[in-house]
Every structure is written in structure tokens, then in C-alpha cells.
Amino acid sequence: MVCVGDNKGTALSICRRVGIITEQEEEEAEGGPYGSGLTGREFDELPPHLQRQACRTARCFAR
């Protein structure tokens, strides 16, 4: 998992570059409850049960 102060696009680019996520994983995650990563605002808008799931499984948290 990575937690950065950059915007989501930059954070996802870093994750791809260092192998935390692949482009295929990112494409597969689109449309899911939190996609490939979450911003703080997106996380706050999730219901509590999805916030807990995101904390367990999300690989990228961004500003």
C-alpha cells in the first residue's frame, strides 16, 4: 500500500512504476467500489463497511 500527498493520477503512476499495481489490475478495478485507489474525499464518501474493506485491500491512497 502507498499513501501519498500527491493527486490521484500521480499516485497511481507511482504505484504502476514501482510495481504496486499493474495497468491490468487498474483496468479491472475500474467501476468497483474504490477503483485502483482512493482520495481522502472518495474514502470519506464511502459507507463504513466499504471504508473497512478499502483499508484492508486498497493499494493506493492519495490526497
pLDDT of residue 2: 84
Q: Show the CA angle centred on residue 56, arms to residues 42 and 30, nearest 5°.
A: 50
pLDDT of residue 35: 64
Q: Where are the domains of the chain?
A: 2-62
Tell me how far apart the alpha carbons of residues 29 and 8 are, in angstroms, rounded to a whole number.
Answer: 15
- Residues 14, 39, 51, 25: is their CA dihedral positive or negative? negative
pLDDT of residue 31: 65
pLDDT of residue 48: 96
Fold that domain 2-62 belongs to in CATH: Rossmann fold (3.40.50)
Q: Output the pTM of the full model.
A: 0.76
Tens-digit pLDDT profile for residues 1-50: 888 888 888 998 898 899 998 878 877 777 666 667 899 999 999 999 99
Max Cα separation, the chain?
31
